[in-house]
């Protein structure tokens, strides 16, 4: 992920403070692709993704006046948190059963699959094949750096359930990667 220079963030924030009409356009032009990628990890339906992003940008635009820049990347981190929270809220409202508790996957070794020759784009596509509950926990733990306690609070589950879901998500992802690679040969 390419984090813009602090001067870019300051310029955008100054436009908002001055009430410039171009502020929203500049923020969107600078960050839309990155924030779409964040949302894409959670939301698999394209129409839902657009809705969640729209709600996220509305929150960003209406709350940006309270944002305090803390250095390079802080604006992006703040906006990413909004996108993740909006994505989780959307999934929570839409789903009555966010976690998958049983799988028929064979046990795979507790080692990470070889992903060296897989592009980031392919990895994202493979991650998106995980069931929603697994995908949420994996994203929150691996990418967002949340602890099992934090994930449990966000998703309304027990920390042990988060750890179990992560293990199952990794197992299923390893199976998906193995299957994908076998088709390449």
CATH number for the domain spanning 41: value is 1.10.1740.10
What are the tokens at 163? 């750890």
Give a yes or no: residue 139 inside a domain: yes
> Does residue 155 sit in the same domain as residue 79?
no
Give a yes or no: residue 159 inside a domain: yes
Domain span including residue 149 = 120-184
> Does residue 20 sit in the same domain as residue 80?
yes
* Tally of domains in the chain: 2
Domain boundary among 41, 76, 94: 94
pLDDT tens digits along 109-160: 555 677 778 898 899 899 999 999 999 999 999 999 999 999 999 999 999 9
- What distance, in Å, lies between the first and last C-alpha atoms of the chain? 31
> Does residue 35 sit in the same domain as residue 83?
yes
Give a yes or no: residue 109 inside a domain: no
Which pLDDT score is estimated for 73? Answer: 84
Which residue is it, tokens 């070889």?
114
For residue 175, give the CATH number of its domain: 1.10.10.10
> Does residue 84 sit in the same domain as residue 161?
no
Least trusted range by pLDDT, from 14-23, 47-56, 67-76, 93-102: 93-102
pLDDT band at 184 (very low <50, low <70, confident <90, very high): confident
> H-helix or E-strand containing 170?
helix 159-184
pLDDT, mean over the chain = 87
Give a yes or no: residue 115 inside a domain: no
Give the sign of the dihedral formed by CA 99, CA 105, CA 107, CA 113: negative
Least trusted range by pLDDT, from 99-103, 112-116, 170-174: 99-103
User: pTM of this prediction?
Assistant: 0.78
> Does residue 89 sit in the same domain as residue 135?
no
> Does residue 61 sit in the same domain as residue 13?
yes
> Does residue 10 sit in the same domain as residue 64?
yes
Task: Please say if the pLDDT value at position 24 is more than 90.
Answer: yes
> Does residue 90 sit in the same domain as residue 13?
yes
Q: Identify the residue with better confidence: 97 or 20.
A: 20
Give a yes or no: residue 112 inside a domain: no
> Does residue 75 sit in the same domain as residue 131?
no
> Does residue 66 sit in the same domain as residue 13?
yes
* Cα diameter, the chain: 59
CA distance 183 to 18: 55
pLDDT band at 75 (very low <50, low <70, confident <90, very high): very high
Give a yes or no: residue 101 inside a domain: no
> Does residue 12 sit in the same domain as residue 90?
yes
Give a yes or no: residue 24 inside a domain: yes
């Amino acid at each position: 992920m390419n984090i813009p220079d602090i001067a870019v963030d300051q310029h955008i924030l100054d436009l908002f403070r001055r009430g410039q009409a171009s502020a929203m356009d500049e923020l969107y032009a600078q960050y839309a692709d990155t924030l779409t990628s964040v949302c894409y990890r959670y939301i698999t339906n394209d129409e839902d993704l657009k809705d969640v992003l729209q709600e996220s940008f509305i929150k960003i635009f209406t709350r940006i006046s309270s944002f305090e820049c803390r250095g390079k990347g802080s604006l992006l981190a703040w906006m990413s948190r909004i996108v993740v929270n909006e994505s989780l809220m959307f999934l929570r409202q839409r789903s009555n059963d966010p976690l998958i508790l049983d799988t028929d996957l064979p046990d795979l070794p507790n080692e990470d699959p070889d992903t060296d020759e897989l592009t980031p784009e392919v990895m994202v596509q493979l991650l998106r094949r995980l069931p929603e509950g697994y995908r949420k926990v994996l994203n929150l733990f691996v990418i967002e750096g949340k602890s099992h306690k934090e994930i449990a609070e966000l998703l309304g589950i027990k920390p042990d359930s988060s750890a179990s879901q992560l293990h199952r998500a990794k197992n299923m992802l390893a199976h998906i990667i193995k299957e994908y690679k076998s088709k390449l040969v």
